[in-house]
Amino acid sequence: MRRHARSALFAMLAALLAAGCTPAPAPTPPDGAPQRVVSLDYCADQYVLRFADRGAIAALSPDAGKRFSYMRARAAGLPIVRPRAAEVIALQPDLVVRSYGGGPEVEGFLTELGVPVVQIGFPQTLAEVRDEVVRVGSALGAAAEARRVAADMDRRLAALPPSAGPRPTALYMTPGGVTSGEGTLVQEVLTAAGLANFQQRPGWNPLPLERLAYERPDVIVAASFDGADAWSVARHPVARAQTARAPTVPLEGAWTSCGGWFLVDAVEALAEAREAIR
């Protein structure tokens, strides 16, 4: 069934091309920067908005202006496109940038049609984030600026106050009552800030209510995506009884929603809070 749908879409696009809608590539400037960039999801939006020339952005994802989009202010006034192959092709892009947008088959599909695709990875460490900044920024024609942003990440991380003595424990909480453990970028952020993760299970999991019944973290790291002060599972009496006594550090949700240079904003805020606790 999927193969038939794919063939039908190819046939439809072929008909469009035959009708004179050939996506003629835009002239490539001397620096090789793409001139019609389309982003398929809000993680890709961040890189496109940061490193692509504004006049070269043909379209962003529908989430580019949402609160969880770090670069949302720059998205104002730019075109939006749904991550559907026919709509993307109609924009005649000379580069498509994606993290997850469009589904797992879209990269191969667009490549078959001659549209270059930059696939943003899913970094698990700050070092990998730095590498993605340089790689994707360079693909967008801003190699020098991407290296500058990466160097700024290095400088800001190196300037953090050193962690002395036992590390305070921190429990990261999302508005949906989910926390994050080992093997995630949140773990990297906490570690870089000189904190120990209260969550012991790897990956993303519900808040550890059973553990919170007899143990509490030194600090609550509260990710906020909509300005709300309460979280679903955190309203549980056990969670409230323990976490009410711990200081809370609010984090802009956009700082940790994607793997980008803006993770350092979260690290700095937490390092400052750690110093205040100490």
Domain ranges of the chain: 32-154, 164-277
pLDDT of residue 2 exceeding 50: no
pLDDT reported for residue 176? 78
Please name the residues in contact with 155: beta carbons below 8 A apart, sequence gap of 6 or more.
none
Assign 97 to helix, strand or coil. strand
Percent of the chain with pLDDT over 90: 62
Tokens read off for 28: 């490539």
Give the CATH number of domain 32-154; options: 3.20.20.105, 3.50.50.60, 3.40.50.1980, 3.40.50.2300: 3.40.50.1980
Give the CATH number of domain 164-277; options: 3.40.50.1980, 3.40.50.2300, 3.30.300.180, 3.30.300.20: 3.40.50.1980
Nearest to 44 by CA among 112, 8, 95, 89: 95
Tens digits of per-residue pLDDT, 38-61?
999 999 999 999 999 999 999 999
pLDDT reported for residue 29? 41
pTM of the model: 0.84
Band (227; pLDDT cuts 50, 70, 90): very low
Are 16 and 46 in contact by the 8 Å Cβ rule? The answer is no
